[in-house]
Structures are given as structure tokens and as C-alpha cells.
Structure 1
Amino acid sequence: MLNTAAQLMFDHSHHVLKVWDNTAPLDVLAFTGEEHLSQPYRYTIEFTSSAKDIQPAQMLMQDATFTLNATPNALASLGAALSMTPPVMQALRTVHGVIQRFKRLSTSRDESRYEVTLVPRLALLAKSHQHAIYQNLSVPEIVEKILRDRHGFKGQDFLFTLAHTYPKRELVMQYGENDLQFISRLLAEIGIWFRFTADPKLNIDVVEFYDDQQHYQFGTSLPLRNPSGMNDVGVESVWGLTSAHQVVENRVTTRDYNYRQAQSWMDGDVDVTRGDKTTYGEAYHYADNYLAAGDKNSPQSEPESGAFYARLRHERYLNQQTLLHGFTTSAALSPGQELKVDGDAPEAFRQGAVIVAISSKARRDQSYEVEFTAIPYSENVCFRPEPSAKPVMAGTIPARVTSTVVNDTYSHIDKDGRYRVSFDFDRDEWQAGCESLWVRQARPYAGDTYGLHAPLLAGTEVAIAFEEGNPDRPYIAYALHDSKHGDHVTLQNYKRNVLRTPANNKLRLDDERGKEHIKLSTEYGGKTQLNLGHLVDSQKQQRGEGFELRTDDWGAIRAGKGIHLTTDPQPQAQKKQLDLDATIKQLKQALDVAETLKRTAEFSQASPIDNLAQQQLAQAISGETKAGISMYGDEGIAIVTPRSAQVSAADNVVVTAQENVGISAIQSLSMSVGKMISLFAHKLGIKIIAAEGKVQVQAQNGEMEMTSTNNLQITSTQGKVVINAQQELLLTCGGAGIRIKDGVIEEIAPNKILQKSPILSYMGGDSVKATMPSFPKGEFVRQVRLHVAGNPQQALGNRKFRLTFPDGSMQEGITDANGQSELLQMSALDNVQIAVLPEQHND
């Protein structure tokens, strides 16, 4: 038997567990280990200790090291025991990490049995569940940000060695996933795998990230040899090699849609098998969330393109084509190594086996044994981790529209009409107006520069939905009211349908039965409105009915083909819009009256009215062929103004009445015409009466004629009658007459001259002095001023022009510096045509 000292120094297990800041002796009893590429490892270690009640705080979250030592030689161990010195241990592998779980299993009189779980520090990320967004970062940058900022990793704790440069993504959303799950998914989606190594100097675990097969660990070679019973004779070897094969997908096709380039071809098509006949079928994947198709013919497609994702997916399928299994006693074997088997190994192992997972175990009474899983090494196919399922965003999540301007009056959108939003779950601080990528808004109607878009202002609550439930593809589903932004239709006005903008531009449709109305209004110009139906004021009290178009500013009604204003009823809009029957009837009646009076005037040798223009106007309005304005009022039309009114026409003004035409003026009535005034009364005559003042009738450059069928009476009730002629005065009746000419009075009678007077006196000669009125002589003169069309302020100075008169004659002139012509002799009042002559330049 061994003495007591030797018993105390002898370690039944050659594997050592060391927990930092722990002073209790730990004697390893058994352990199991699970390691996978792109997954944190897990070692479950049973140990005994004379410390019968180790507290959880002494173990949990403590850094620890588990060392796998080579089995010591039996004689060396016995010699070490007899000499009271511990045997020399040879470390085959050291695993660093942190204690994640701790159990107290049993207690005896001498010791207690415990169990701990050792994991890498990366495994603790599974305890951090987050809702966050990451903008304008590549996947490696996102992973590094999480490791450094959220979990305190430093440069010595992780290493990126990548063959590709990955693009920055506009937005990546983490929604409810723990950090480990999130970064593992992101890395796996783009084919980055990771493994763990130990830093012997810092005594820490290091996570290493790679994206190609060039960074497998090469140089591991083990012989093929079956162990004998419980003894492996101290030589590491492999045995129990098996391989499993299956038919996998022959090719992969991807397709996505990028609304930013809606016409772009977004298909990717990849076949990595190089003609392998043991593959079959096409795997078609839609919406892998890429922006470009990529080059499907290039083995190095643009990262995160359609061809890139198609290749990754095919490599994942091919990873499952052949799976290799085996057993070994090598403690140094770990995931990420390429294993070469010496000996007569199966064909599947000949090219090398890439270890993807190991399961190890050992006890005090059982030797160390590892079961491994591997895939054949290939220059064309790399190990690609299978990504976990991306969260499916069911329903919507709340967010608010943002802007770069505080209390922005207008919406903050980009050239494509997109918005930025602040997600309600997001706790990070962002620059104002940069809280997300530009997000599209779903609309009920959209097309090529047409649609329905009511811009959203900063602070508006919106519901964010996601294309295909993908958290990285958000869009605004709709906007909502909240306690801060109250609804404009509530119980107070629930009968109304209202579209109102922030500037109070409004479309209101009231459905209250019997009081239906529509209001279209804007605040500009005081208030500009179109009110239809039951018209109400702000207190909902009736103020009218029908329709009202009003503004406190300028107003204009313009119709290029014509306007028809009428009171002719059209119940329930049963007739055509331009139903002019009543108007045409009235125009025809007016034309009939005009034609009757024209014939009467012609019969009486008066100058008749030319009804051609009236006929043409009636035809144009009734035929709806020319632009015009027609007005019809069943009970009359009133045009009223407290100031002045003007009726002007380039051609003719026609006034026709079947009864009377009355013109009244408090001051004066003036009529000026260019050629002639013709007054004709058919039955009751013409009265020209001045209650006060002078009545003056002149023919300044012509004759005057007064004729009556019956008596002609000239009377001055309180004054005298003066008849004055410059050359001769002749009174005739029945062949007799009196001629006054050149100062001589001549009495003419075919029969006799009767003079009845008691006295006839003859006196000396005398004469009557009379002043003859004078009339201005000469022609009209005019002056024209030329200016740029539409800009009267910009005169055309020193420019030649030509006047064309109605008779075809022409006259040329030149303007002065102010654009005015000299005085031009006009022989008539007719309008003339003015043409500006082109400028002449000397070469």
C-alpha cells in the first residue's frame, strides 16, 4: 500500500480544472465536451472537493481553465508516488472559458461532488436579448460593435481574417434575438464561420472568424488503429470510420426585388457541382435580401449579391452530401482542423476530413474518447454554417416619423418620397433625421408620378410592416392618431368624413341625412371655399343651401370652350350638362323681334340693325362650337355694382327686349359712335325732352333734315325763335315763298300777296348781326406705344413698325427711346394692325 503522503499527492485524474479566485481543491471525476464549428463549445465537468459547500458565487461567471493532460506512464506514476513527488503532466489541450452552470450533486463524510459547465465567453451573449438597429455597417462591423460596445471584448478576444470585403448595409434589425443568436445568424447568412482557440500567454479563449477553406488548421494526421479493450497503449489513433452519402440539390437559383432599381434583372444561378451526377433538382430561393444580381459565372461573385447567396446556399447543400464519422483518442483534435488518416482509410477520407463537430468524454475509470463529425475537404466547397431562422415580423411595430429640423413645418422626405422613422423600441441615440434608413410608405394608389400621397410630418405615429416579414425590409404601412396627435373625426363629428392637412386645407363630406354637404377649403386668401349642399357655419348652423364658391382674395372662372350660367332647373341631373334649350329659345325669340323691327325700319326708310352678328352668336352658342358665355335667368338677371360697369365688344353689342329697354342715369347719358346713330320708333314716336338746360342738335359736317307727315311745330314759350342761315333762308308753301339772301328779302307768290297791317313803315336800311357757330376741322391723330408682349414696362425703343389700315393702305414709322411713335394721321376710327419690323444689322 501507498503511504499516506503518497496517497495525498496522487491525482486519480490527469485532467485539471482551475477556477480563478477559487481556493478549494478540485479533483476532476468525469467530463463530457461538445464542440461545433460556429457554435460555442460546452464542457460539463464533474469533480469532487473536500470543500463540502462551495458557494455559487465562487464558481458562476468565474474564468476557468480545463487542461487535458496525457495519461502518465504507470511506472512513472508509481515512482513519483514512492518518491513523494507528483508525476510530470503533459498538456495536450487547454480550454479557457467561464463557468456558466454550477451544481452540487452529493456530499459524503469526506467530500462533496459538484458539476460545472465551462463555456467560452461568447456563449454568454445568449443571455443578452436585444431590440436594436444597426445602420450603414457591414456584418463584420456589426459583430465587432456588439462584441466591443455591449460585451467589453477587446482586440485580443477575437480575430477577423476574411477573404471578402463585405458591403455596408442600410439597416439591420435585431428584434428579440439574443446577441449570440443574432450574430451567429448574420455570420452564417454570408458564409462566415468561426472557431475557438486558446491564447497561452493571456490564458483566454479567442474566437476566430473566417470565410474560406484556406484557414482550416492543416497538419493533423492520425493513424487508423482500433484500441484494444480498455487500453490504447498510449498512441493516439482513429477508428470506427463511417461515411453517409445522400443526393442533394444540383443547382441553386435566387431572385429578389429591389424597388430602387425596379427594372433590374435580379436572378442568380449557380452550380458548384461541376457535373456531379449524384445531385438532382433545382433549389429556388426568393427574397434573400440583396441589391444586385452579381456575376453567376465568377467563382468570386460580388459579396451579398444574388450569385453570392446562390453559391453559399449550394455549398450548404453540398456540405450535407457526404458526412464522415469516426472515433479518436486525440485530445488535440478540434473543429476547424483538416484530419488526414494514415492507413487504409475509406475513400471518403482520402482527400482529408474537415472536422465540424466533436463529442468527447472521459472518467476516472474510462479513457478519453472523442467522436467526431466531418465533411470531405474540397477546394471548391467550404464549410458553411446553417443560419438560424430569421425572426418573422408578424403584424406591425410602432415608430414615429423624424426630421432633421425640430418642429419641422413640412415633411422630411427624399427625392423618392421616402421617410426616416424612429422605432419605438430603439434606445440608441442617432443624429436627428437619421434614425433609420429611408423607408417607403405604402399607399392605396400609386403609379408613374401619380398616386395618392399625403406627406407625413415629424412626430406622426406610423405602423411599420415588413416585406415577407423580414426585419431588414421595413416600410410604413399606415399612420395613426394617438393621444398627442388627436383624431379629427371623433364622437363630436362622427357623421363627417374629413381629409385635412396640417395647414388646414380641408375636404369635408358630411353624411348626416337631410343635411348632406361637401366643403373644399383652404386658409389662403382669408378663406377660399367651395361649399355644396346643406351649407353650415362653424357652429353647424345652416347658412344656406345649394352651392357657394367664395374667397376673400381674387377669383377667376375660366373655361376654354365656354361657360353656361342658368337657372333653368335640371332635377336629379337627368339632362345633359350643356342643356341649352331654354337659352336657345330665348335667343331665337330675341332674333325674331330683331328681324321684325329690322323689316319695319327698312319699310320706313330708317337704317335697320344688322342682325347677322346676332344670328352668328345664337348659332355659336346653340351649336356649342365656339367659346362663349351664355347666361339665362328664369326671373331675370341683375348686374349691379356701386361703382362702374362696362360692356365692351370687339364686334357688336346687341340689346334686344320683347317689352322695354330702360336706361336711367342721375348725371348724364352720353353716346359716341364712329359712324352713325339711327333711332327708329314704329308706333308711338320719339320724345326728346330736357326739363332744364339746352337742347342742341348739330350736323357739323353735313345736312340736317326734319320731316313730318302732319304738323311740324316749333315753339318758344318764353323766348324767341331764331332761324339763321349763312347763305340763304327759304320759306315755301303752296308755290309761294320768302327768300332771304345776300341782305335781300324776296317775296314770291304765284297769285297775290296779302298784307294785313294798320301801319306799314318804311325806314332806312339796316342789317342783323348774327354769329355763326364754328366746327373743328381736320382729321383724328393717334400715337402708339410699343412694348414687349406681357411686359408693358419694357418698351421697344427705336424700333420700326408698320400700320395696316382697313382699306389695305400702310404707313411705317419708328418709335423713340420710350417706345412711342410720332402723331399719326388717322382718317377713320377703324382699328389698325401694327407689326414690329425686324431689326437690321450691318455685317
Structure 2
Amino acid sequence: HERYLNDQTRLSGKSSCATLAPGQELKVSGGEEVTGTFREGVMITHLHSRARRDRSFEVAFHAIPYLEDYGFRPATIARPVMAGTLPARVTSTKSSDIYGHIDRDGRYRVSLLFDRDHWPPGEESLWVRQARPYAGDTYGLHLPLLAGTEVAIAFEQGDPDRPYIAGVLHDSAHPDPVTIRNYKRNVLRTPANNKIRLDDARGKEHIKVSTEYGGKSQLNLGHLVDGGKQPRGEGFELRTDSYGAIRAGKGIFITADAQMKAQGQQLAMEPATSLLRRAQNLIAGWESVTQTHRNFSPDMDTLKQFVEKADQMKKPVLLMEAPEGIGSVTPESILLHSGNGLYMQSIGEVSIASEQRLSVNASQAISLLSRQEGVRLVSAKGPLNIESHSDILSLTSLQDVTVQSTQGHLQLTAKNGITIGCGGAYIRLTPQGEIEIHGPGLLSLKGQHNLQGPASEDFQLPDLPSSVCKECLKRAQELAQGFVPRDA
């Protein structure tokens, strides 16, 4: 403001007085030709004197009123202007620093290449900002520069006191990751070889995201190649030499159905839901069959709930579907566990085979029902045992029942008796060793008869194991009993 007033109020005059000097107060007295400003006094700000042989000495001066309202302010001296950029290198206080040396504001120290003075490492300059393509309040793009990286230093409005890193340069010691050898690629690579690569080779486009940790972890998309640019597949690959996990809090849908050119919704699952509904209807169709044959009916409520949850991922479920089949193989073990219902449904055949033993257990009951071609239980080698450890064993047939032993002995034994009956006639073997043969009609005995005195033979019956039911254990716990009888 004061400099503006200086420029607004300018006084000038000429004199032959050789003692005038800038900064002096000058008061001029005289007649009416002298203005009041000069009578009150002025302060000389500029002098220009000249003299020649043919002229007298002359002084031309400029002045401002000598008042408190006017404070002399000399004209500003123009700063030096730095045009263009200067080459420099990023520095660090650590030798061979593998990380960027920056301060809390993300600034760097640089060494200007023309500076021949010796400075402590990392103190060659004040902290210098870096210009970036994207920046904001705690967001932006910042790839830290390592010591030795060549940079171009520019200056704000050419002010040498306000330098900044305008750009980063490659050189012979720090070659560019994209050269004539791979000019079709767009590469972002960090010093630790974390990499994002986008290959624009027409017809062979691919994207690779890679890190060296865990051996090597990669996401490969499109035309897949190896380190020698040789094809090794197409599509996508997510791989790692370490652990892997797929997690989705609202559900996971894995399908092999095509969705060309990414057209369609993410959860387009019409083929999968159609198969789910079909399986549900087929299992429901067994309900009437099992009721007719007095077998156990499937639990349709649990299955219905699952189908509703899986449709459009209404609940966090895992659903897999493929139009040409799904395989799950391992040289070790496979575990299938369900906390509620486990359903296996096939329109074709179901084959279950084991090179060793096959065990089927149920806490409540096991039901086998064949609708058309029958049920076969075959032991190619070794005994075939059918046992009921705590209840009856019932064999019922609409037609003939055949019990045969092609090379052995057929033995029927019972603790409380055996009865064979037909048409009102029966043969009964009692626990007391008596034999009753009764019939309403003819009793025909043919063959040689050898009647001797009484004789007997003991038949050892096996001891059948029994288990303690969960209800018995709970009841014993409530009664604080230490022992539970097996026949409870």
C-alpha cells in the first residue's frame, strides 16, 4: 500500500545545487511560484545529475511529500528467474537404501548435479515436493523414489527458492522397464518386483498382477504366457505358492456356464436354479413312494429352505454348477459334513466303491428302497452278517423266500424257540428242548427211522453289543447317576 502511495504522489524538480542527495529533506522558500508541498518539505528519492562544457551543472530529482502519510518504499528488485528444469538425483541418509527417504509430508532430498560442494548424505537440499498426476487429502498416487533416481527439478514461477520435482527420468544405470523389446506392454513395477503388466499385443491381450511374496502370487487374465513369452493358457488364473482363501460374506456362486462378452447379470444363475428345482421335485417324488412301501420319507423342509437361500444368494451359501459335470478328486481324504440335511440325487446311476471298507452309520435308522429292479447284498469273499442288536429281525417277501448254502451247513438257532408254520400246521422247537409237530391233516414221514433215547446239543449264541442312547445319558445327568444300564 505504501509503495502504491509512493507511485501515486511523485514530485520532481531541477537544481544546480551539488549538495543534494537521496534521502535528504528539501524545503524550498520563495515567492508564489513555489508550491506549498515544497515549502512544507519533500524527501528526495531519486537524483540524476549531468554537466557538459557548454552547459552548467544540473540536477534533476524526484521526491515525495515529507509527511507521515507517505513512507518511502523503494521499488522491488526483480528475482532471478530459473527457466526450464535442472537435473538432480534423489538422496538418502542411508547407504544403498532400499526404501524411499521421505519426510512426514512425502518430500525428498535431492542433489543437483551442478553442485560440486560436499554435503552429508541426505542433506544436499531442503525437502522438495514432487509433482504427481493425482493428489488430494490423504489420497493420491505416490510411488516412492529411491536414492540415485534421476529427477528433473523445476521452480514455481521460476523462483529459485521454490524448487519441486517435475518428473522422474530413466538413465543408463536405471533402464526403462518398457523398451523396444517389449514396446507393446504397459508396466508398473516396484523395486521389490511387485508388478502390474498390461499387454496390448492385438489378439494376445493380457493383464498380470504379481508379487514375489509366498514364492510367487499372481493374477493372470487373458492370453497367459510364461517368462519367455510362450503361451501357457487363456482365460484367468489366480495362483500362489503359499496359502489361498476365497471369502464372500453374502455368498459364492461358481459356474461353468458361458456368459459371452460379460453380457448379463453377475448372479445370472437360471441353469443352476433350474437344476436345484429339478432335484427338489425328484426328491419330493420319492415321498409318496416311501409312504406306500412304509419306508422313511425324505426331509423336504430342509431341502426347500436351502433352495430358497441359494436362489440369487439370498443367504450366504456356496453354490457350484457346471453343464458338463463337476469332479472332486484327491489322493488323500475328502470330508462332507452337514449340520442339517445331506441330499444326494442323480437321474442316472450312483456308484459308490471302496478299495478297502465301506461304512454306513446312522444314529436313528437306515432305509434302503429299490423301486423296480430289487436290492442285492453280495459278499464276494468273507462272511455276510445281518444283525439286529436290540430288536427284531424281519424278512418279508410277497413271493418265495429261498435260503441256500451251496457248500456249507444251514443252521437255525434261537434262544426262545423256533416255529415253522404253513396252512395251520407247524413244527415248534421249545426252549425246554421239546419238539411239537402239529397239523390239521396228514402227517407223512418217509424214510428209515432210528428211534433212540433223548440227546441234546448246546448251541452257543453270540453276545450282541448294545449302546447307550443320548436320551439315557441326558436323563442320567439330570438324576446325577454315575452309571447307566445298557438295557435302560
Using structure 1 for the length normalisation, give the TM-score.
Answer: 0.53
What is residue 343 of structure 2 aligned with on the other side?
Answer: 654
Q: Does 1:778 align with 2:462?
A: no
Q: Does 1:493 align with 2:186?
A: no
C-alpha distance 469-684 of structure 1, shift in aligned 2 (>3 A): same
| Structure 1 residue corresponding to 2:303, chosen from 614, 618, 622 | 614
Deviation at 1:376, TM superposition (A): 2.5
Rounded Cα–Cα distance in structure 2 between residues aligned with 1:674 and 1:756:
51
| Structure 2 residue corresponding to 1:441, chosen from 96, 106, 130 | 130
| Structure 1 residue corresponding to 2:453, chosen from 757, 763, 767 | 763
> 1:766 corresponds to which letter in structure 2?
S
Rounded Cα–Cα distance in structure 2 between residues aligned with 1:499 and 1:479:
14
The answer as to whether partners of 2:109 and 2:126 remain within 8 angstroms in 1 is yes
Paired residue secondary structure (1:687)? coil
> 1:396 corresponds to which letter in structure 2?
T
Rounded Cα–Cα distance in structure 2 between residues aligned with 1:403 and 1:720:
96
What is residue 335 of structure 1 aligned with on the other side?
Answer: 22
Rounded Cα–Cα distance in structure 2 between residues aligned with 1:351 and 1:647:
109
The answer as to whether partners of 1:402 and 1:459 remain within 8 angstroms in 2 is yes
Instruction: Report the structure number with the largest CA radius of gyration.
Output: 1
Rounded Cα–Cα distance in structure 1 between residues aligned with 2:415 and 2:67:
134
1:654-693 per-residue CA deviation (whole Å, 9 max, x = no partner) reads: 1111001111111111122221111111111111111122
What is residue 689 of structure 1 aligned with on the other side?
Answer: 378
C-alpha distance 448-782 of structure 1, shift in aligned 2 (>3 A): farther
- Structure 1 residues without counterparts, runs of 5 or longer: 1-313, 784-804, 814-822, 828-843
What is residue 66 of structure 2 aligned with on the other side?
Answer: 377
Q: Does 1:318 align with 2:5?
A: yes
Rounded Cα–Cα distance in structure 2 between residues aligned with 1:374 and 1:388:
20
Rounded Cα–Cα distance in structure 1 between residues aligned with 2:297 and 2:203:
56
What is residue 358 of structure 2 aligned with on the other side?
Answer: 669
> 2:294 corresponds to which letter in structure 1?
Q
The answer as to whether partners of 1:726 and 1:772 remain within 8 angstroms in 2 is no
1:540-560 per-residue CA deviation (whole Å, 9 max, x = no partner) reads: 111111111111111111122
Rounded Cα–Cα distance in structure 2 between residues aligned with 1:577 and 1:778:
51
Deviation at 1:605, TM superposition (A): 1.5
Rounded Cα–Cα distance in structure 2 between residues aligned with 1:388 and 1:485:
42
1:194-253 per-residue CA deviation (whole Å, 9 max, x = no partner) reads: xxxxxxxxxxxxxxxxxxxxxxxxxxxxxxxxxxxxxxxxxxxxxxxxxxxxxxxxxxxx
Equivalences for residues 108-257 of structure 1 within 5 A? none
The answer as to whether partners of 2:188 and 2:197 remain within 8 angstroms in 1 is yes
Paired residue secondary structure (1:671)? coil
The answer as to whether partners of 2:92 and 2:109 remain within 8 angstroms in 1 is yes
What is residue 587 of structure 1 aligned with on the other side?
Answer: 276
Q: Does 1:457 align with 2:164?
A: no
Deviation at 1:780, TM superposition (A): 5.6
The answer as to whether partners of 1:464 and 1:477 remain within 8 angstroms in 2 is yes
Rounded Cα–Cα distance in structure 2 between residues aligned with 1:499 and 1:459:
19
C-alpha distance 448-711 of structure 1, shift in aligned 2 (>3 A): farther
1:750-776 per-residue CA deviation (whole Å, 9 max, x = no partner) reads: 224322231232223434242331324
The answer as to whether partners of 1:781 and 1:824 remain within 8 angstroms in 2 is no
> 2:392 corresponds to which letter in structure 1?
E
Paired residue secondary structure (2:429)? strand
C-alpha distance 350-781 of structure 1, shift in aligned 2 (>3 A): farther
Paired residue secondary structure (1:318)? helix
What is residue 201 of structure 1 aligned with on the other side?
Answer: none
1:581-601 per-residue CA deviation (whole Å, 9 max, x = no partner) reads: 221222222223222233222
C-alpha distance 338-427 of structure 1, shift in aligned 2 (>3 A): farther
What is residue 746 of structure 1 aligned with on the other side?
Answer: 436
| Structure 1 residue corresponding to 2:413, chosen from 701, 721, 724 | 724
Rounded Cα–Cα distance in structure 2 between residues aligned with 1:371 and 1:824:
128
> 2:15 corresponds to which letter in structure 1?
F
Q: Looking at secondary structure, tell me which structure has more strand per residue.
A: 1
C-alpha distance 342-715 of structure 1, shift in aligned 2 (>3 A): same
Deviation at 1:498, TM superposition (A): 1.1
Rounded Cα–Cα distance in structure 1 between residues aligned with 2:227 and 2:263:
33
Rounded Cα–Cα distance in structure 1 between residues aligned with 2:419 and 2:472:
42
Paired residue secondary structure (2:276)? helix
What is residue 349 of structure 1 aligned with on the other side?
Answer: 38
Rounded Cα–Cα distance in structure 1 between residues aligned with 2:372 and 2:400:
17
> 1:442 corresponds to which letter in structure 2?
A
- Structure 2 residues without counterparts, runs of 5 or longer: none
Using structure 2 for the length normalisation, give the TM-score.
Answer: 0.88
| Structure 2 residue corresponding to 1:483, chosen from 172, 190, 195 | 172
1:90-141 per-residue CA deviation (whole Å, 9 max, x = no partner) reads: xxxxxxxxxxxxxxxxxxxxxxxxxxxxxxxxxxxxxxxxxxxxxxxxxxxx
The answer as to whether partners of 2:28 and 2:39 remain within 8 angstroms in 1 is yes
What is residue 604 of structure 1 aligned with on the other side?
Answer: 293
> 1:315 corresponds to which letter in structure 2?
E
The answer as to whether partners of 1:325 and 1:371 remain within 8 angstroms in 2 is yes
1:372-402 per-residue CA deviation (whole Å, 9 max, x = no partner) reads: 4333333354322212333444443333222
C-alpha distance 324-781 of structure 1, shift in aligned 2 (>3 A): farther
> 2:440 corresponds to which letter in structure 1?
P
Rounded Cα–Cα distance in structure 2 between residues aligned with 1:812 and 1:356:
115
Paired residue secondary structure (1:609)? coil
The answer as to whether partners of 1:518 and 1:533 remain within 8 angstroms in 2 is yes
Rounded Cα–Cα distance in structure 2 between residues aligned with 1:824 and 1:489:
80
What is residue 637 of structure 1 aligned with on the other side?
Answer: 326
Rounded Cα–Cα distance in structure 1 between residues aligned with 2:444 and 2:118:
130
The answer as to whether partners of 1:598 and 1:608 remain within 8 angstroms in 2 is yes
C-alpha distance 521-812 of structure 1, shift in aligned 2 (>3 A): farther
Rounded Cα–Cα distance in structure 1 between residues aligned with 2:69 and 2:430:
137
The answer as to whether partners of 2:10 and 2:62 remain within 8 angstroms in 1 is no
Paired residue secondary structure (1:451)? coil
| Structure 2 residue corresponding to 1:547, chosen from 236, 240, 250 | 236
C-alpha distance 430-379 of structure 1, shift in aligned 2 (>3 A): farther
Equivalences for residues 543-582 of structure 1 within 5 A? 543-582=232-271
C-alpha distance 470-608 of structure 1, shift in aligned 2 (>3 A): same
C-alpha distance 524-824 of structure 1, shift in aligned 2 (>3 A): farther
Rounded Cα–Cα distance in structure 1 between residues aligned with 2:425 and 2:29:
166
Deviation at 1:479, TM superposition (A): 1.9
The answer as to whether partners of 2:413 and 2:459 remain within 8 angstroms in 1 is no
1:157-214 per-residue CA deviation (whole Å, 9 max, x = no partner) reads: xxxxxxxxxxxxxxxxxxxxxxxxxxxxxxxxxxxxxxxxxxxxxxxxxxxxxxxxxx
Paired residue secondary structure (1:446)? coil
The answer as to whether partners of 1:412 and 1:457 remain within 8 angstroms in 2 is yes
> 2:194 corresponds to which letter in structure 1?
N
* Stretch of structure 1 that moved more, 652-661 or 354-363: 354-363
Deviation at 1:779, TM superposition (A): 4.5
The answer as to whether partners of 1:782 and 1:824 remain within 8 angstroms in 2 is no
The answer as to whether partners of 1:353 and 1:376 remain within 8 angstroms in 2 is yes
Rounded Cα–Cα distance in structure 1 between residues aligned with 2:25 and 2:483:
110
Deviation at 1:499, TM superposition (A): 1.2
Deviation at 1:534, TM superposition (A): 0.9
| Structure 1 residue corresponding to 2:201, chosen from 501, 507, 512 | 512
Paired residue secondary structure (2:129)? coil
Counting matched residue pairs gives: 480
What is residue 105 of structure 2 aligned with on the other side?
Answer: 416
Deviation at 1:707, TM superposition (A): 1.1
* Stretch of structure 1 that moved more, 749-758 or 517-526: 749-758
> 2:21 corresponds to which letter in structure 1?
S
The answer as to whether partners of 1:601 and 1:682 remain within 8 angstroms in 2 is no
Superposition CA RMSD, Å: 3.1
C-alpha distance 429-349 of structure 1, shift in aligned 2 (>3 A): farther
> 1:358 corresponds to which letter in structure 2?
L
